[in-house]
Structures are given as structure tokens and as C-alpha cells.
Amino acid sequence: MMNYDYAIVGAGITGLTLARRLKSQHQTVLVLEKSRGAGGRLATRRWSDDGIFFDHGCEGLDTKSSEVEAWVKEMNLESLLKHEGDDFKILDHSSNSFCSGGISQIGRRLSEGLELQKQVKVHSIQRIDSMFRLQSDEGDVHLAQKVVFTCPLPQIKQIILNEDSDNIMSKLWDPVWDQVTYEPSHSVMSRVSSLEAFSGNLTKKLGEGFVAVNVSQKFRLKQPCVIVHSPTSWSSENLEEDPEQVYIRVKTLLIQHGLSPVGSYQVHRWRYALAGKVVRGGRGFAELCSGDLFFAGEAFAGTGVSAALRSANKLSDHLLFDTNGYGES
């Protein structure tokens, strides 16, 4: 069994960025991700039978941000991006670039060359001498000298406080982290009979906070398709609702606005779409076990893609240069 320098739990922006930087400095790194794909909210749903696809998480990137711009260049992402122009306006006004082939391309690019195991849900963590022992739900065991959790804090807490984890782990949990909140969201993807109701626009408000995106215009698809994003308040109240009932509500709104759904549909629930109330005044990450265990991600640095990246920047600087923010080795 291989002993890694680092095990990173979570293959979103923070985890993948950190993994690439650590590997570039000759560290052995294992990334564990519970989902089928890498990238976190950089997610694209594809209907492979007819070439239809939807960005059902993050809509785009703010490459006007110097932080994001530097990251795009560092990670060699420029060729994947299309920038906002007169013929295209992105739903998220904080973004000005998107991927014409689907935003999951960024996750795949960031994953290249990494040792990444997907569909692995970490169950517990134990400290054995100078190593950490991570065990998955399937019973697989992974060993590493240092561990970085980049998944949402409720998922980290579930692992740390698991009865199969060391008792000492439960003492590491800071009650402050229980105050962190996450905003949920639902994304409903569907074909529609016509796109005339958009009147040439990319988005259309459906009322009650629901917004439809003209996916066909965004990606130049031949078939008329839309994705509808729900407001946080509605998703909070209907978080455990059956996907069919979610679709029925959205279908009613679409019909009312001249966007009659046809054929199949898909619903995706984001339980942790965005960090709401976050950790304030921190370093962009939490350091535990004398610098061998770390928690990172957007909740430690703000909200959204930029915050997830900022957390990765802060932690990678700390791990690789022991800088305390000054860039000195």
C-alpha cells in the first residue's frame, strides 16, 4: 500500500488546484472524490444521444479578476474559454467567460496527470503514528502523511465525528464551523417547443426567483433547450422534495411563460451550492494536528469560485513555501 505525502478529499477547484501545485513540487498526491466527475460545481450534464449538454452548476468565470486570470494562465485553461461579447451575456454578472464545450472541461483539464480516484466516499480518519489512515465506505484504506479536506464542512464533520474515527478527531472540531451555512439550489434541464419567449435574450425571469437560461443560444445547440435555476429560498424549503415534484413546479412556470417542455428532463439538486455564512477573519484555511491536517475551501475564504481559488492559493503558499503570506522560504 502506497503512503502518500498528501491525500486531498474533494476534487473541486480548491482540491484540484492544490493537488496540481503540490505535484509540481514533487509531492506524491492522492485525490479522493465521492462524485462521478471532478470539478465540483464546474459541472456539465450531457445527453449523449443527441449532443445536448447543460452547465448545471457554475455558469462561468470572472477572468477580469487578476486572481482568476493568473490561475487560468497557470493551469493552461485559456484555450477552453470563450469571453463575453455583444452576442453573449452570462447569467452570473460576476462572470465574463464560459466554456463553449461545457464547463466540466475545466475539471478534466485540472485532473490531467493527477492520481484521482472518483466515486470514493471517505468514511473515517485515524492517526497512526506519523500517518493518517483514511477509510472509504467500501472499506478501501489510503495512507498519507498529511490530509487536506476541501469538501463542504458538514461532510468534513461527518467524517471527523464518525464513530470509526479517532476520538482525538472529535476534539479538533471547532464549534465556530457549525455556524457556517450553505445555500442550496435546484437545476432543471429540459427541451422546450420554442425559444421565442426569450426574444433573443440569453435569460428569462420566470417569477418567484426562478431564472431560465437559453442553453441553445449559449452553446449553439440545434435543439431548443433550457435550464432553470431555482432561488435559494425555494430550494431551502423544498430540499428533500422528490425530483419529479421539482420538475412539475418548474414545468408550470415554463408553460406560463411560453416555454412548453417536451420530451425528457433532468433535475439536479445542489445541497451545498454556495457558502452562505462563512468563516470570517481566518487564513483561508484551518490548520490542525501540528500542521498535518487541513480544512480548506470557499467557506474559509468567502463565497463562490473566487473564494475556492483564494483558499487554494493561501494553503498552497503555506504548504510549499511556509510563507505566512510573505513569499519567503
Same domain, residue pair 121 and 264: no
Same domain, residue pair 32 and 56: no
- The pLDDT score that the predictor gives to residue 114 is 98
What is this structure's pTM? 0.92
Chain-centre distance of CA 96, in angstroms? 18
- The pLDDT score that the predictor gives to residue 327 is 36
143: helix, coil or strand?
Answer: strand
Residue range(s) defining the domain that contains residue 191: 44-102+182-275
Same domain, residue pair 193 and 289: no
Q: Residue 64: inside a domain, yes or no?
A: yes
Same domain, residue pair 80 and 194: yes
Same domain, residue pair 16 and 123: yes
Spell out the alpha helix ranges (H) of the chain: 13-24, 66-74, 104-111, 153-160, 167-172, 215-219, 232-237, 243-256, 305-321
Q: Residue 329: inside a domain, yes or no?
A: no
Q: Residue 327: inside a domain, yes or no?
A: no
User: What CATH number does residue 239 fall under?
Assistant: 3.90.660.10
Same domain, residue pair 263 and 285: no
User: What CATH number does residue 307 fall under?
Assistant: 3.50.50.60
Same domain, residue pair 68 and 120: no
Same domain, residue pair 205 and 299: no
- The number of CA neighbours under 13 Å toward the Cβ of 52 is 21
Same domain, residue pair 174 and 190: no
Q: Residue 328: inside a domain, yes or no?
A: no
- The pLDDT score that the predictor gives to residue 84 is 66
Same domain, residue pair 155 and 302: yes
Task: Tell me the DSSP string of 215-236.
Answer: HHHHHT-SS-EEEEEPPHHHHH
Q: How far apart are CA 4 and CA 115, in angstroms?
A: 11
* Domain stop point among 242, 259, 275: 275
Same domain, residue pair 52 and 146: no
Q: Which residues contact 34 (CB under 8 A, 6 or more apart)?
A: 119, 120, 121, 122, 151
Number of domains making up the chain: 2
Q: Residue 32: inside a domain, yes or no?
A: yes
Same domain, residue pair 85 and 148: no
Per-residue pLDDT of the chain (329 residues; tens, 9 = 90+): 789 999 999 999 999 999 999 999 999 999 999 999 999 999 999 986 678 999 999 988 888 888 999 999 999 999 999 876 544 555 555 567 889 899 999 999 999 999 999 999 999 999 998 999 999 999 999 999 999 999 999 999 999 999 999 888 889 999 999 999 999 999 999 999 999 999 988 899 999 999 999 999 888 898 999 999 999 999 999 999 999 999 999 999 999 999 999 988 999 999 999 999 999 878 999 999 999 999 999 999 999 899 999 999 999 999 998 744 333 32
Q: How far apart are CA 124 and CA 155, in angstroms?
A: 11
Q: Residue 93: inside a domain, yes or no?
A: yes
